[in-house]
């Protein structure tokens, strides 16, 4: 079906905690702030990124069909299966036996759902009542490696 992206799924392991140093003031992308010399707070990424532990999974994106949405090959995705998908959400969908990662769009004029890639090299997937289709989960975060 869609050769633009594949997913490698992982269940979320929340049995451990790892508190990391955290700067609650944020990090300026403009001029530095002298107040940023001290990081006294800590953050646990499990608590920050996972709202519904029993229905949250991780997946590694393999492919480039969502690159213009900032989701690239190798990015780690946080997927929540308990969320009700909304127009414009990036979702993991199961269509006719295949998983795909796309942005959802309801086309009222054609009475269908479109799964929209974010790369012009790929075509939307039109989903009608004739397809075997479920939205498996909603992507809540994407984690991107910045250094090779």
What CATH homologous superfamily does 5-13+52-143 map to?
Umud Fragment, subunit A (2.10.109.10)
For residue 69, pLDDT over 80 is answered with yes
Catalytic center residues: 65, 102
* Least-confidence region, from 6-10, 49-53, 63-67, 82-86: 6-10
The full set of domain ranges for the chain reads: 5-13+52-143
The predicted pLDDT at position 19 comes to 65
Three-class SS of residue 78?
Answer: strand
Distances in whole angstroms, Cα of residue 41 to Cα of each of 22, 23, 28, 50, 130: 5, 7, 17, 19, 52
**Cα–Cα–Cα angle for 93, 139, 92, rounded to 5 degrees:** 10
pLDDT tens track for 24-60: 666 667 666 665 555 567 777 888 888 888 899 999 9
Answering whether pTM is above 0.95, one says no
User: 48: Cβ–Cβ under 8 A, 6 or more apart, which residues?
Assistant: none
Phi–psi pair at 5, nearest 5 degrees: -155, 140
Outline where DSSP puts E strands in the chain: 5-11, 19-22, 41-44, 56-63, 76-80, 90-95, 98-107, 112-116, 125-127, 133-143
User: pLDDT tens digits, residue range 75-124?
Assistant: 999 999 999 999 999 999 999 989 999 999 999 998 889 999 999 999 99
Other CB atoms within a 10 A radius of the CB of residue 76 amount to 15
């Amino acid at each position: 079906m869609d050769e633009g992206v594949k997913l490698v799924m992982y269940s979320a392991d929340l049995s451990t905690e790892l508190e990391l140093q955290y700067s609650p003031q944020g990090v300026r992308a403009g001029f530095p702030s002298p107040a940023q010399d001290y990081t006294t707070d800590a953050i646990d990424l499990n608590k920050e990124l996972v709202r519904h532990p029993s229905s949250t999974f991780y997946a590694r994106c393999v492919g480039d069909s969502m690159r213009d949405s900032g989701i690239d090959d190798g990015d780690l995705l946080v997927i929540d299966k308990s969320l009700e998908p909304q127009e414009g959400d990036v979702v993991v969908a199961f269509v006719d036996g295949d998983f795909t990662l796309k942005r959802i769009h309801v086309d009222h004029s054609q009475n269908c759902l479109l799964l929209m890639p974010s790369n012009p090299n790929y075509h939307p997937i039109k989903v009608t009542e004739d397809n075997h289709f479920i939205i498996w989960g909603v992507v809540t975060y994407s984690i991107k490696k910045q250094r090779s």
